[in-house]
Each structure stands twice: as C-alpha cells, then as structure tokens.
Chains A and B, each alone.
Chain A
Amino acid sequence: QVQLQESGPGLVKPSQTLSLTCAVSGGSITSGDYYWSWIRQPPGKGLEWIGYIYYSGSTYYNPSLKSRVTISVDTSKNQFSLKLSSVTAADTAVYYCARVDGFRYYFDYWGQGTLVTVSS
C-alpha cells in the first residue's frame, strides 16, 4: 500500500518561499508508471493542481503558478518536494501530494495534506 506524507512549515511570511516535502513509502518513486504531483486547496474552496514531476526530473507546472513553482525529486530518499516563491495570503491552503497514474492521469494515492498559512 503506497503512502504519502507531507512535511514542512505550517507558517510562512509573505514574500518568502514555501517549501514542502512528500515522503513516499510502500512503493518506489522510480516506478516508471507514475508521476508525482502537488495539489492545493484554499480553506473552504476547491482543488487546484500545481504540477507534477517524473522520477527522471522532468516536470510540468500549472501555467498559473509556473513562474513561482519548482518541484524536485530525490530518488535516494524516495521523496519529492515543492517550492513556491513570493507567497502571499492567497497561497494559504492545504497542500496535498499525490501519485498520478502515468497513462490515465488520475490521482490515486494522496497524502493527508498539510495546512500552510501565509501571514506575518
């Protein structure tokens, strides 16, 4: 059973960089059948896809966030990470990591989510 677990600071100051890590267990992040993704959900609102990474390091980002987002992978630790720069209060959200089926592009395993608040 694949499990994903997000970790990182729960409070980030405006203009700073949000950094989160997703640890994957129960399966290898180097499986060629999957991508590894970040999704966020502002409090009381819907879901927004941020982007994904393949174990080789290739990425695709949502154009709405592309200028501020970096997703990276550490295969030796079986984890991947998110950096979001120049944050504002609008970036306050629960951030989820998830596994993406590489052929049909659905999210089949999710982390529990972590709330990141942007505030001074």
Chain B
Amino acid sequence: DIQMTQSPSSVSASVGDRVTITCRASQSISSWLAWYQQKPGKAPKLLIYTASSLQSGVPSRFGGSGSGTDFTLTISSLLPEDFATYYCQQAHTFPFTFGPGTKVDI
C-alpha cells in the first residue's frame, strides 16, 4: 500500500493567518491527490482533487500544489469556519489511502 504522511499533525493558528499543510506519499503518485476538510461529527468534504483543482463551491482561499511525492494544501487567510481536520488521499494506486490528518485549531 502507498503510505501517506502529513505534517504537522496539528497547528495552532489565528483568523487571518496563512496555513500550509504538507502531505507526502511513500512513492510517486503523480498528481493523483485529493484534500478533504472534516469538522467534528461531520463527513469529510472534498476541497481539492488532482493536487490543485478546486472543487466546485470551495472558496478560493484554499489552494493545492505538488506532484510526485510531495504536496501542500494552503489556506491563504484563515476564517473561523476553517478550523477543522484536513486529510489527504492518494488516488493513484489501489487501495486508496488517506493521510493521518492535520488538525487546525486556535
């Protein structure tokens, strides 16, 4: 299986901050990476697919980049509703695997 790691595991931030989360794959996955946001008690929500494509309806303050093994999710200016846990997911090889998550809190 392709192992996904994320760093940091948690980050404390304030409204208006720029936040960057890193996701690394154990082998090259080209651009087959998605990012999800999950709030407590809710299902994950798709933010980004194919590493940098913004899902319809997702605010433009969310951005994704990277290819191969290293990827980043950037929130350009944090809003109160962005405090959540963020997961990456590789879509290159079965079985699909997720990163362990990065919690963004105050």
Residues of A within 8 A of B (CB): 46-49, 60, 62-64, 96, 98, 101, 104-108, 110-113
Size class of the contact patch on chain B: 20 to 34
A46/B91 contact (C-beta < 8 A), A104-B50, A107-B34, A110-B43 known: no
**Interface SS of chain B: helix, strand, loop or mixed?**
loop
Contacting pair A49 B95 (CB below 8 A): yes
Question: How many pairs of A and B residues are in contact by the CB < 8 Å rule?
Answer: 51
Picked from B42, B43, B44, B98, the residue with its CB within 8 Å of the CB of A48 is: B98
Point out the residues of chain A lying under 8 angstroms from B55, CB to CB: 108
Chain B 70-105, CB-CB to A under 8 Å as 1, else 0, gives 000000000000000001010100111111110000
A46/B98 contact (C-beta < 8 A), A106-B49, A107-B46 known: yes
Point out the residues of chain A lying under 8 angstroms from B89, CB to CB: 47, 106-107
Bound Cα distance A62, B96 (Å): 8
Contacting pair B95 A62 (CB below 8 A): yes
Point out the residues of chain B lying under 8 angstroms from A48, CB to CB: 98
